[in-house]
Amino acid sequence: MVYSYYPGCTLKNKAQDLDRYARMSAEALGFTLEEIEEWQCCGAVYPQASDEIATKLSAVRALNDAKEKGRDLVTLCSACHHVIKRVNDDMQNVEDIRTRANNYLKLDAPYEGETKVLHFLEVLRDRVGFDTLKEKVVNPLTGRKIGAYYGCLLLRPSGVMAFDDPENPTIIEDFIRALGAEAVVYPYRNECCGGYISLKEKALAGNLVDHVMESAVDKGAEELITACPLCLYNLKNSGSSKKVPVHYITELLAEALGLIKE
């Protein structure tokens, strides 16, 4: 199975591990992530205003590229996933945005939200299946107590993202269990890490990260995993509370699949 793949800017730079381990794991699990050509940065935040069109176009280009190849579009970074999924929803359901975006792009055929956008975790859950994943694990992460950090962008707004229950999600916990580790459920796993605010509002971001870390530690997590490079950065670098290590989801996946050589 081949999926169109949108890595996003950070996965080509600071978050190369997130990208590299995803591709390796995909091959090991029997699917291929084929990077779409000439993609551009998604903008990293979804433009919410109804009169914002130009800022949505890079997402539409990526979506249309996948459509032309007849493939589903897979993303990894939470921000890219959020932006592309929501823009796709606009293209399906908001006539004004659809018309104006197509007027700009002048594609061979207008894009109307045909592409299915999948997060890498959704591919694992819905296409590969966590039971199959469990069977392919050669190096189970037995004994490790891992907390899932969802953050906000994968889950909310749940009406559009339709990723999991926005207040009590389970997909990453199921993923952790499939890898043989213990999933630690803690209540702040869907609260914001601060996102872009950490650039100029260090104190606020620190406060938010402290809440998340304290909550995770309180419930006994010894490490956290996330799909988002910015979440990882903030969790590692903001705040003053006791910290546990933070990894990318794909890093753990590759490790459990025996793809990381010591």
Partner 1 sequence: MQRIGVFVCHCGTNIAATVDVARVVEAAAKEPGVVHAEDYQYMCSEAGQLKIREAIKEKNLTGIVVCSCSPRMHENTFRQAAERAGINPYMVEIANIREHCSWIHKDIEEATEKAVILARAAIAKVTLNAPLQSGTSRVVKRALVIGGGIAGIQTALDIADAGYEVDIVEKTPSIGGRMSQLDKTFPTLDCSACILTPKMVEAAAHDKITIYTYSEVEKVSGFVGDFQVDIRKKARSVDMSKCTGCGVCQEKCPSKKTPNEFNRGLNTRSAIYTPFAQAIPNVPVIDRENCIKFKTGKCGVCSKVCQAGAIDYEQKDEIVTQNYGAIVVATGFDTIKLDKFDEYSYSTSPDVITSLELERIMNAAGPTKGHLERMSDHKPPKSMVFIQCVGSRCADKRGKSYCSKICCMYTAKHAMLIRDKYPDVEVTVFYIDVRTPGKNFDEFYRRAVEEYGVNYIKGQVGKVAEKGGKLLVQGVDLIDNKRILMETDMVVLATAIEPNPDVRKIATMLTASIDTNNFLTESHAKLRPVESPTAGIFLSGVCQGPKDIPETVAQAGAAAVKVVGLLAKDHLVTNPCTAKSDELLCNGCSSCEKVCPYGAISYEEKEVNDHGIRETRRVAVVNSALCQGCGACTVACPSGAMDLQGFSNRQILAEVDAICR
Partner 2 sequence: MHRTEQEQAELLKEISGVDTKKCMKCGKCSASCPAYEEMDIRPHQFVSYVQNGDVKALLKSKSIWKCLSCFACVERCPRDVKPAKLIEAVRLMVIRERGGNYLTPDEVPELLDEELPQQLLASAFRKYSK
Stretch that binds partner 1, among 22-30, 42-50, 164-172, 197-205 (CB under 8 A): 164-172
The least distance separating partner 1 from the CB of residue 134, rounded to whole angstroms, comes to 24
Shorter beta-carbon distance to partner 1: residue 102 or 207: 207
Among 37, 48, 106, 108, the residue binding partner 2 under the rule CB under 8 A is 48
| From 131-139, 170-178, 188-196, 250-258, span contacting partner 2 (CB under 8 A) | 188-196
- One character per residue 189-208, x = contact with partner 1 (rule: CB under 8 A): --x-----------------
State the nearest-atom distance from the C-beta of 188 to partner 1, in Å. Answer: 6
DSSP the chain: -EEEEE--TGGGTTTHHHHHHHHHHHHHHT-EEEEPTT-----SS---STT--GGGHHHHHHHHHHHHHT--EEE-SHHHHHHHHHHHHHHHH-HHHHHHHHHHH--SS---S-SPEEEHHHIIIIII-HHHHHHH-SS--TT-EEEE--TTTTTSSHHHH-SS-SSS--HHHHHHHHTTSEEEP-GGGGS---GGGGGT-HHHHHHHHHHHHHHHHHTT-SEEEES-HHHHHHHHHS-SS----EEEHHHHHHHHTT----
Q: Does residue 13 bind partner 2 (CB under 8 A)?
A: yes
Out of 84, 181, 225, 230, which residue is the one contacting partner 2 (CB under 8 A)?
230
Q: Which of 219, 237, 247, 259 binds partner 1 (CB under 8 A)?
A: 219
Residues forming contacts to partner 2 in the complex (CB under 8 A) are 8-10, 13-15, 41, 43-52, 55, 77, 79, 152, 155-158, 166-167, 191-192, 194-201, 204, 208, 211, 229-230, 232-233, 236-237
